[in-house]
A and B are shown apart, each in its own frame.
Chain A
Amino acid sequence: MSVAAEVAQVAQSAIDDFNAAYGLCLDDDRLEQWPNLFVDDCLYQVIARENVDNGLPAAVMYCDSKGMLADRVVALRKANVFPEHFNRRLIGRAVITGAEGDQVSAEASYVVFQTRNDGETRIYNAGKYVDRFDLSGGTVRLKSRTCIYDTLRIATLLATPI
């Protein structure tokens, strides 16, 4: 196997592992750990596919620092009011779209199912992650994650990050 192919294989499994852990971190309600999955100078956004397709930048969540991610979590815990819910997400295998040294870009499909107090599980949000990873120092962290959602109608509100 060539060196490049070996690097790609390592990145593939590292990113798939990362995405699985990312999903469980949120689904298990370990929100305080979530910002640590990003580098300090990061970008996290949740944006409608209709905007991306039309070249429009407005996102429903737009955090361009790790501090802003932490602020979101504190607001969720202490301030925001939303229906009690559990999320469960399935994340597809990542497709690596580019690599430059330790910097790897990738995309993966996701579905977030949501269960509220009525007990019914609904498809809450489907879309894809468009990511840039920093694999330096033997860790995997997100430099940017753009959640592009197909589910254009957000049911009630969107509180927990995608």
Chain B
Amino acid sequence: MSAETMPVAAGSEPTAVDYAVYHSQAIFTAEQENIFRGQTWCYLGLEAELANSGDFRSTHVGNTPVVVTRATDGTIHAWVNRCAHKGATVCRSLRGNQADGAFVCVYHQWAYDATGALVGVPFRRGLKGVGGYSKKFNMAEHSLERLRVETFGGLVFGTFNPTIAPLDDFLGPVMRKYIQRVFQRPVKVLGYARQFMAGNWKLYSENSRDSYHGGLLHLFYPTFGIYRQSQESAGLVSDEGYHTVFIVSKPKGDVHYGSFGDEANREMQGEAKLQDERLLAFRPEIADDVGLHIQSIFPSVVVQQIQNTLATRQIVPHGTDRTELVWTYFGYADDDEETTRHRLRNLNLVGPSGLISMEDGEAVELCQQGTIGAEGKRSFVEMGGDDVRPSYAPMGMDENSVRGFWKGYLGLMGNALADLAGEGRA
């Protein structure tokens, strides 16, 4: 690598990150190895998407295409969607059910079972003594590349790493507690939305851990005079800094949104009034007062409950400046029709068109555009301190969780960043 193209991100620290991390192809490549195929568990999907044997879903780990399946014995498997013959994409659908349990590559019809094992090769012995593979050809050596799979709550995770500790340890007790909060009872998928941002995946990872921007970028609440000053809030960060959960409780007592306006700070109180308040109605359905729960699991998923919306947001990095966000919306399996309709109404708040969330897509792109040509310059992440604390309350005037993300990221990438910079100097 030449000195001109060399990323100089080795000087980054959690409070000051070299903008090269959003633009460098070398860093992006190193992230695939060190983070997504490294010492992490990556979100693959929901167990609810794999309700029946034969169900499958195409997904990604980093930029690697992966398929997650439920086999005939009920176990969940994941494999790289790359034929062991010539590398073709094996499974070409986003999701479905492979009733006979076989995934057949269309190119030369090598067939794999749901576990990724090669189970059939056309003309393996040739025909009438002509062609075919040698006697040494062993099907067991030509399976699809498999991931280790574990589940927690209703979430399915996979890892390429053979030695990483179990998923439970990777998540830690605090994250497990909050995942269980959302997945307190069986869920059902309500649908998907996919949002494509011309920005780096880490800009979104920071965004979902950034409580500072909440009431400043997203002006929906203050515009309609529903700024909620009396809320209790906290941001909790896991040990290595990887994961974060933000929790905001609704004001005690009356849950009718109209009362929030009275408590609002005058300057934050808007002129406008909602014509249809049902959009915002909140029906507590978990045994607490939490109206907002945003949980960022390193490196690639956010679990959320905002009012009565439930969703995962999977971050798929397709390139340094191409990031896909896959929203999977769900409700509880025992929801009646009216409850589902209420969730659909609440969903106006979130997603690519969300009244309190659409701005995040724009923020990601603005930071990507603004940092072009800024390699060697660094961000300033010192709101609320320069350390990473396990808990910060109330939240909103700090970047504690963003520093946590960078602490975890730099821990995994540190050597790679130093090596890249070292090569550049050489």
Which residues of the partner chain A approach B95 to less than 8 Å between Cβ atoms? Answer: 54
Q: Is A135 an interface residue (CB 8 A)?
A: no
Q: Do residues A152 and B194 form an inter-chain contact, with CB atoms below 8 A?
A: yes
Contacts of B194 in A (CB 8 A): 48, 152-154
Say whether B358 contacts A51, CB under 8 Å: no
Q: Which segment of A15-23, A74-82, A94-102 sits at the interface?
A: A74-82
B120 → chain A closest CB, angstroms:
29
Question: Is B219 close to A, CB under 8 A?
Answer: yes
B190 adjacent to A58 (CB under 8 Å): yes
Residue on A nearest B329 in the bound complex, by CB: A58
A59 proximal to B (CB < 8 A): yes
Bound-state CA distance A63–B346 (Å) is 10
Give the nearest-CB partner of A62 in chain B: B344
The closest CB in chain B to the CB of A51 belongs to B191
Residues 112 to 162 of chain A near chain B (Cβ within 8 Å): 152-159
Asked whether any CB of chain A lies closer than 8 Å to the CB of B107, the reply is no
CA distance A51 to B353 in the complex (A): 16
Does any Cβ of B come within 8 Å of A56's Cβ?
A: yes
Counting CB contacts under 8 A, is A70 at the interface?
Answer: yes
Contact digits for B321-357, partner A, Cβ 8 Å, 1 yes 0 no: 0001000010000000000110011011001111100
Q: Is there contact, CB below 8 Å, between B270 and A78?
A: yes
Residues from chain A with Cβ under 8 Å of B94 in the complex: 50
CB-based contact A57/B344 at 8 Å: yes
**How many whole Å from B348's CB to the nearest CB in chain A?**
6
Residues of B within 8 A of A157 (CB): 195, 352-353, 358-359, 361-362
Partner among A64, A81, A153 whose Cβ is within 8 Å of the Cβ of B217: A81
B123 at the interface (CB under 8 A from A): no
On whether the beta carbons of A80 and B355 are closer than 8 Å, the reply is: yes
Residue among B222, B351, B358 making CB contact with A159, cutoff 8 Å? B358
Tell me which residues across on chain B come within 8 A of A79, comparing CB atoms.
218-220, 222-224, 355
With an 8 A cutoff between CB atoms, is B189 at the interface?
yes
Which B245-287 residues have a C-beta within 8 angstroms of A?
Answer: 270, 272, 274-276, 278-279
Chain A min CB distance to B78 (Å): 21
Inter-chain contact A48/B359, CB cutoff 8 Å: no
A60 within 8 A of B: yes
Q: Is A60 in contact with B217, judged by CB distance below 8 angstroms?
A: no
Whether A56 contacts B359 by the Cβ 8 Å rule is: no
- Quick one: given A48-B192, A157-B352, A159-B353, are A68 and B276 in contact (CB under 8 Å)? yes
CB of A154 within 8 A of CB of B220, answer no
Task: For B270, give the chain A residue with the smallest CB separation.
Answer: A78
Would you give the shortest CB distance from A119 to chain B, in whole angstroms? 15
Answer whether residue A25 sits at the interface, using C-beta atoms and an 8 A cutoff: no
State in angstroms the CA–CA spacing of A90 and B278 once bound together: 33
Question: Is there a chain A Cβ closer than 8 Å to B382's Cβ?
Answer: no
| Contact assessment for A156 and B195 in the assembled complex, using a CB-CB cutoff below 8 Å | yes
Q: Tell me whether B223 and A75 are in contact (CB under 8 A).
A: yes
User: When the two chains form the complex, which single residue of A47, A51, A83, A158 contacts B352, counting CB atoms closer than 8 Å?
Assistant: A158
Least CB separation from B195: chain A residue: A154
CB-CB under 8 A from A74, the residues of chain B are 223-224, 272
Quick check: B191 and A156 within 8 Å, CB to CB?
no
Tell whether, in the assembled complex, residue A65 and residue B276 are in contact, meaning their CB atoms are under 8 Å apart: yes
Also in contact, A71 and B353, with CB within 8 A (given A82-B359, A156-B196): no
Q: Could you write out 10 A-B pairs with CB less than 8 Å apart?
A: A46-B353, A57-B191, A62-B348, A68-B276, A78-B270, A78-B272, A80-B359, A154-B352, A157-B358, A158-B352
Apart from A58-B344, A64-B341, A82-B358, what 16 extra A-B contacts exist at CB < 8 Å?
Answer: A48-B194, A54-B191, A56-B191, A58-B190, A59-B347, A60-B352, A62-B348, A71-B279, A74-B272, A75-B220, A80-B219, A82-B359, A154-B352, A155-B198, A156-B362, A157-B353
